[in-house]
Structure 1
Amino acid sequence: MTASRAEPTGTARQDLLFYLQSARDALLWKLEGLTEYDVRRPLTPTGTNLLGLVKHAAGVELGYLGDTFGRPSGEPLPWLADGAEPNGDMWATADESRAFVVGLYRRAWAHADATIDALPLETTGRVPWWPDGKDEVTLHHAVVRVIADNQRHAGHADILRELMDGTVGMNRSNTALASDDPAWWESYRSRLERAAREAADRDG
């Protein structure tokens, strides 16, 4: 499966793959045009950063749509090994290049898609890091879970990129924005600020 899908095509498997790929594409799109510093720099108090989101998403796909169904990828992920430092999958070290992280993510796509193509959606797997007796999951459930995780982080990436340089939009071909006029947005934001202050005054 590739990133060229234009719209869902109707079957459950195809719809799942469409929304999974749309989140993948959005995450990588948010890296475009940025320096090595900007793709890595933390923009929240908890350190959220663009390249870290991609690194995390790669591990999630390889885990839930690989290991869980007895299909290990063979990709070394030392930041997820026992004893690794907390949150090591949420940022890229200076030695982990953008090309390395993006390449890992693309290989994770291919491995995950191969799992989805090879197995019925009702196939049952076991999540290695879930508690014994509560670790069983269907492929359908695992794909939905990965879509939810990727889309959530794509939303994080939207906000990080807007804070960084003002670049906005859902994807390259569809911004999903009400206007492309900066003056309209300035007026809109001012209106929201006034409404927030009025509500605070009434509450006080």
Structure 2
Amino acid sequence: MDDKEVLHHYLRLRRADLLAKVDGLGDYDARRPLTPTGTNLLGLVKHVASVQLGYFGEVFGRPSGRDLPWFDDDAAPEADLWLTAEETREQIIELHHFSAAHTDATIEALPLDAVGEVPWWSPERRRVTLQQILVHVCVETAQHLGHADILREQLDGATGRGPDDPNMPQRTPEEWAEHWERIETAARHAEQGAT
């Protein structure tokens, strides 16, 4: 694989991993706020889909033609990070697939040194290459996947890419409780030693 294929491969993997974080969840759990700032699983999917359309569409003069009303001036705050009652899981999943296809077409059509402009970045940073944007969006997608990993674990204990993920230790619930206690004990001892 050349450099573009490697970056594109990792972007595809992280997109799929992010979508998988809503598999098997009811509508409420997939969209409810799980942090004080409102972070939620389908909101992360919606945001990443929106980000891809901006960076691989507008930035390279390849608009998708897709209307994203959550970016309108009169939209609710951070409307790209949560779903209204009228928006459905199916709409957001479809948007993510549409966004991925549009992104893939841009990546396949342009060389890594293709130049674009990010209008929402400061003037001195706006001029970019496809390679820079591919790295940027890979990193942003992975960051949001990390958020989703933690949210999903809080909901039902699911971690990583599922029970067969070779990167996740295989432990019984009792072993996990023992592991948690080991970490908690170390943290408490460190705190006591610091005072």
State the Cα distance separating 1:171 from its structure 2 match: 5.4
Match of 2:20 in 1: 29
Whether 2:137 is the aligned partner of 1:146: answer: yes
Correspondent of 2:178 among 163, 175, 187: 187
Match of 1:81 in 2: 72
Whether 2:106 is the aligned partner of 1:131: answer: no
Match of 1:67 in 2: 58
Correspondent of 1:47 among 8, 23, 38: 38
Cα separation, 2, equivalents of 1:142 and 1:82 = 25
Correspondent of 1:98 among 89, 101, 105: 89
State the Cα distance separating 1:195 from its structure 2 match: 0.4
State the Cα distance separating 1:133 from its structure 2 match: 4.3
Match of 1:176 in 2: 167
Q: Which runs of 4+ in 1 moved over 4 A?
A: none
State the Cα distance separating 1:175 from its structure 2 match: 5.1
State the Cα distance separating 1:134 from its structure 2 match: 3.1
Residues 79-122 of structure 1, C-alpha deviation per residue, up to 9 Å, x if partnerless? Answer: 11334332010001111100000000000000001000000100
**Cα pair distance change 1:117/1:134, threshold 3 Å:** same
Percent of counterpart pairs with the same letter? 48
Q: Residue type of the partner of 2:178?
A: S
Q: What secondary structure sits across from 2:128 in the alignment?
A: strand
State the Cα distance separating 1:169 from its structure 2 match: 1.5
Cα separation, 1, equivalents of 2:122 and 2:93 = 31
TM-score (norm 1): 0.91
User: C-alpha root-mean-square deviation of aligned residues, in Å?
Assistant: 1.4
Match of 2:110 in 1: 119
Q: Residue type of the partner of 2:157?
A: G
Match of 1:201 in 2: 192
Please list every run of 5 or more consecutive structure 2 residues that lacks an aligned counterpart in the other structure.
Answer: none
Which has more helix, going by share of residues? 2
Q: What secondary structure sits across from 2:125 in the alignment?
A: coil
State the Cα distance separating 1:188 from its structure 2 match: 0.7
Cα separation, 2, equivalents of 1:175 and 1:97 = 33
Output aligned runs, 1:1-12, within 5 Å: 10-12=1-3
Q: What secondary structure sits across from 1:34 in the alignment?
A: coil
**Cα pair distance change 1:115/1:171, threshold 3 Å:** farther
- Worse overlay, 96-105 or 73-82: 73-82
Q: Residue type of the partner of 2:100?
A: W
TM-score (norm 2): 0.95
Aligned residues: 195
C-alpha contact (below 8 Å) 1:161/1:167 kept by paired residues: yes
Cα separation, 1, equivalents of 2:108 and 2:165 = 28
